[in-house]
Structure 1
Amino acid sequence: MRCKTILVGILVASLGIAVAVAGFGAEATRVKRSQLKLVFDGLEPECEYPSSPAMGLAIAATMALLLARVIITSATVGCCSCCIPTPNAHIFGRVCIVISWITSSIAVVLFIAGAKLISQKDVKRDTDGVYYCYTIKPGVFSAAGIIGLLSVLLGLVYYFLYVWDRSSAAKEPALNLELEKQAVTDGKKPTISDGSTP
């Protein structure tokens, strides 16, 4: 049990670090406005976008985050484990898993939205009639990476509290059984009444 707990912890922590690294990598390699060229070829202008691994990194970060979420969910009771009563339920653990679900959803939405916006290669026109090429705003991928890492860390806190709670709940019946066994065999011989004496 302890070996499984350590293995799950290392695996999920590695995925969390991968989410953060991929998020910052996507932020660093995203196409900047200075790298874009507006080319007038014919009647309609076109944007020339340089190749960038940002979209692939955003998708990889999303997959790593979802995989971490699946591992934590399968290692505990399931996605509704925060609602199942346990003998020594930790309110802190339940708060951690709820916040973890919320933050992982936000991170996934940011990664997917960022990847979708990167793939837009349309020419935009502002209110003054000036053409420009669209670029994603800075900070989207790095924010998603930080939020994703926070989500994984909160999920790990919940997982360790869940394992500790289950192991302490399993020890309690064994302790009670030992106490009952000592009470029955305390060394005194039981007295048997024959019914003739009051």
Structure 2
Amino acid sequence: MEGKTVLVSVLLATLAIAVVVAGFMAEATKAKRSQITVEYYGLEPIEPECHYPSSPAMGLAIAATVALVLARTIIQSTTGGCCSCCKPLHSMPKLGRVCIVISWILSSIAVVLFIAGAKLSTHNSAMVDVNGVYYCYTVKPGVFSGAGIMGLLSVLLGLVYYFLYVQAQRRAAEKSGADLELEKPPVTDVKKPPITDVKKPPVTDVKKPQAPSQNE
């Protein structure tokens, strides 16, 4: 159990770091408004098209999403599934249930932000503002970094829930073992009946009858 706990903890911590690093890197490398150009095609109607510079932001956002989903899968598989927080478990504190619920909410929001940011980073269609000017959409500041922070908190809360789950399982096993010990019938000290020294009957010296003599 200890080796498994250490392995799961290291994996989740690594994935949490990967999520937040990928989120901040995507935030730093996303396309800026000044780097996007609008080109117009055709005569009537004019069809503007946005051209974004090459950027690893989309790949980083997808990598962060994969890491977050993988962390969520590890937490589910090691704690009895997605409905484990609803199952009755001995000694499971309320803090664990709160942590897993918040973790689910944060991870869902982070995944949506990562996917939306990655999709909008390659949105080629130009839009028109109220003045009739064409412009290209850019991911708002803080979308990727915010998603990375929420993903980090989600995995950390899931790790806390995992620790509490393991401790609750251990306490439940100990209690079950104690209950089994109490249910066993008491072992009484049954004494064997004493072995009496039965004396053999005395051997009497029985004389053999004399054989008759031939003279008689």
- TM-score relative to the length of structure 1: 0.87
Q: Displacement, 1:49? A: 1.4
Does residue 100 of structure 1 match 2:103?
Answer: yes
Matches within 5 A, 1:154-169: 154-169=157-172
- The percent identity for this pair of structures is 65
Question: Distance in 2 between the 1:189 and 1:7 partners?
Answer: 51
Give me the whole-angstrom Cα distance separating, in 2, the residues matched to 1:105 and 1:48. 30
Q: Which runs of 5+ in 2 are unaligned?
A: 192-216
Match of 2:80 among 59, 77, 81: 77
5+ unaligned residues in a row in structure 1: which ranges?
191-198
1:142 is matched with which residue: 124, 140, 145?
145
Q: Equivalent residue for 2:198?
A: none
Q: Which amino acid in structure 2 is aligned with residue 5 of structure 1? A: T
- Render the CA deviation track for 1:42-100: whole Å, top value 9, x for unaligned: 54343331100100110110000000000000001110001000111211001111111
Kindly report which structure 2 residues correspond to 1:1-150, keeping only aligned pairs within 5 A, or say none.
1-40=1-40, 42-43=42-43, 44=46, 45-150=48-153
- Higher relative helix content: 1
- Paired with 2:118 and 2:95, the residues of 1 have a C-alpha distance of 34
Residue 153 of structure 1: aligned partner: 156
2: CA distance between counterparts of 1:111 and 1:127? 29
State the Cα distance separating 1:2 from its structure 2 match.
Answer: 0.5
Contact 2:23 2:64 in 1 (8 A): yes
Which of 169, 173, 179 is residue 170 of structure 1 equivalent to?
A: 173
Between stretches 30-39 and 167-176, larger displacement belongs to 167-176
Q: Deviations over 1:111-136 (max 9, x none)?
A: 11111111102222211112222211
Q: Cα RMSD between the aligned structures?
A: 2.1
1:196 corresponds in structure 2 to: none
Deviation, structure 1 residue 173? 3.0
CA distance in 2, matches of 1:72, 1:40: 50
Number of residue pairs matched by the alignment: 188
State how far apart, in whole Å, the 1-side matches of 2:4 and 2:99 are. Answer: 21
Which amino acid in 1 is paired with 2:65? T
**Which residue type is aligned with residue 125 of structure 2?**
D
SS of alignment partner, residue 82 of structure 1: helix
Query: Max radius of gyration: which structure?
Result: 2
Q: Secondary structure at the match of 1:47?
A: strand
TM-score, normalised on structure 2? 0.80
